[in-house]
Chain A
Amino acid sequence: MLSSGIGVLFQGNNFLRLLQGLMVSLRIALLSMLLSAVFGLFLGIAMNSKKGWVRAVCRTYLETVRVMPQLVLLFLVYFGAAKHLGMNFSGELSAVIVFTFWGAAEMGDLVRSAFLSIPAHQYEAGCALGMTKMQVFFYIMIPQAVRRLLPPTINLLTRMIKTTSLVVLIGVVEVVKVGKQIIDASRFTEPSAAFWVYGAIFLLYFAVCYPFSRAAALLERKLRDGN
């Protein structure tokens, strides 16, 4: 019976465990996003460098990250680093390293285009007022870039939250893993558990990501009207 399976969600502390699993996913995503934002800011600025070789290095990094499936990166860091470099990262740390490596590249690209989209005349207007390069950068360029960056950054964050579901494959006990444990435990008593548990996980992801997507869309509209 399909409907009886729903009980599995509320047996014992199952639902709480799912929520705790979700917190692990969110912790990985938010920490990676924070680091990505910091590194991405510098990377994005470097991507607009006047020096050709700096741009080339950044470009290569970005392209490499983009063609590599995140799963391969995860395996590479979690299993590969342990084996060949003698470093042992926990699953969660491996995940943060990989997602930051990926997120920083994507963030860098967003930062790059945000700065490019500010008209050169804004920079000149600041200079013409006697502001130094640094002052123009901090008071005129960065505030405008950040405004443009907010919507795509939130979108990147939701992508990152969704991608955390991959870390189950390197043994991190996050929401999907907890779900599997619950399903496995009730395999014989509740055959329909899988449907309900994955359904619940789907809704949990939705509940987390949807507000972010909406916020991004709203911000985007607001900023477009604004300028």
Chain B
Amino acid sequence: MKEKQILQIEHLEKSYDGHPSVLRDINFSMEKGEVVVVLGPSGCGKSTFLRCINLLEPVSGGRIYLNGQDILSGQKESSRIRQEIGMVFQNYELFPHMTILENVMLAPLLVQKRDRKQTVEEAGELLARVGLSEKQTSYPRQLSGGQKQRAAIVRALMMRPKVLLLDEITAALDPEMVREVLQVVLELARDGMTMLIVTHEMEFARAVADRVIFMDKGAIVEEQKPEDFFSCPKTDRAKRFLNMFHYEALG
């Protein structure tokens, strides 16, 4: 195993009751600082893939290593592992009963027992970076979708994760808010954050990705550099998938 590899997945299998083979023999690895975009039709298993990585779903087979450590062996408790893997959800999932500042500080204080004063400062800086300085004492309901999602990104970053998983984080947003959120992600990529991103924003995928993986029916069917994937996909399935977006753009 190479030193640089932060995440390595071998023969990952996942089935639900009544849904066999949601993930089929997934082999995949990521280097530190790499940004990988996962593309694929709805229902192909992208969310399940991400959820398996931070242990929200029990897997049916295979191995996942984070920094060379087997995270499925159960030797390390899931809480420790999840602190190193940040996740941002499609519907933000901010905690509605807490202010934005409380939302982003909860886990660092409670789980990592970090110093309160420093955490407040760090939260202030990160919220300022995503343009939410004014919203520290607001509640999630008082924010727009785009603002909520930026706050959710900060909440994940506050844990100082080694890897960030983003699952269609702009899918629930009005079009005019998509950009402000993707801008934040692009900046994170520039700063060297390791990210695994599921998205349907093709322009963004092309801009942010170091590598694209294309999934279909629970398997990785194609893995390429973005310029190659978008200009000449190898598989028919990927061609059809990309054509769908061209059609959308025309229509």
Contact = CB atoms under 8 A, between A and B. Distances in A.
A52 to B, nearest CB: 16
B91 A131 contact: no
A226 interface: yes
9 contacts: A124-B56, A124-B93, A125-B87, A125-B93, A128-B54, A128-B56, A129-B156, A130-B83, A132-B79
Contacts of B232: none
B96 A144 contact: yes
Given A128-B54, A130-B159, A135 B96 contact: no
Interface string A109-135: 000000000010110111111111001
Task: List the 3 shortest-distance A-B pairs measured between CB atoms, nearest first.
Answer: A130-B83, A125-B93, A129-B107
B79 A125 contact: no
Interface string B152-166: 000110010000000
B83 A139 contact: no
Nearest to B111: A130
Contacts of A3: none
A132 B80 CA distance: 10
B106 A129 contact: yes
A143 interface: yes
A78 B83 CA distance: 57
B71 to A, nearest CB: 13
Interface of A: 119, 121-122, 124-132, 135, 139-140, 143-144, 147, 226-227
Given A130-B159, A139-B106, A227 B96 contact: yes
Interface residues of B, number: 27
Contact of A121 (B82, B89, B97, B139): B89
Nearest to B77: A132
Nearest to B81: A130
Which one of A119, A131, A144 has the greatest number of beta carbons of chain B within 10 Å? A131
Contacts of B112: 130
Contacts, number: 64
B95 A130 contact: no
**Chain A binding surface SS class:** helix
A130 B79 contact: yes
A227 B142 CA distance: 10
A130 B107 contact: yes
Nearest to B85: A128
A143 B141 CA distance: 16
Contacts of A144: 95-97
Interface in B108-165: 110-112, 139, 141, 155-156, 159
Given A140-B95, A147-B97, A227-B96, A131 B89 contact: no
A132 B79 CA distance: 6
Contacts of A139: 106, 110
A141 to B, nearest CB: 10
Contacts of B79: 130-132
Given A124-B56, A125-B89, A131 B97 contact: no
B239 to A, nearest CB: 34
Contacts of B83: 129-130
Contact of B111 (A124, A129, A140): A129
Contacts of A130: 79-80, 82-83, 107, 111-112, 159
B165 to A, nearest CB: 8
Interface in B62-89: 78-80, 82-83, 85-87, 89
A127 B79 CA distance: 7
A143 B99 CA distance: 13
Contacts of A125: 87, 89, 93-95
B93 A127 contact: no
Contacts of B159: 129-130
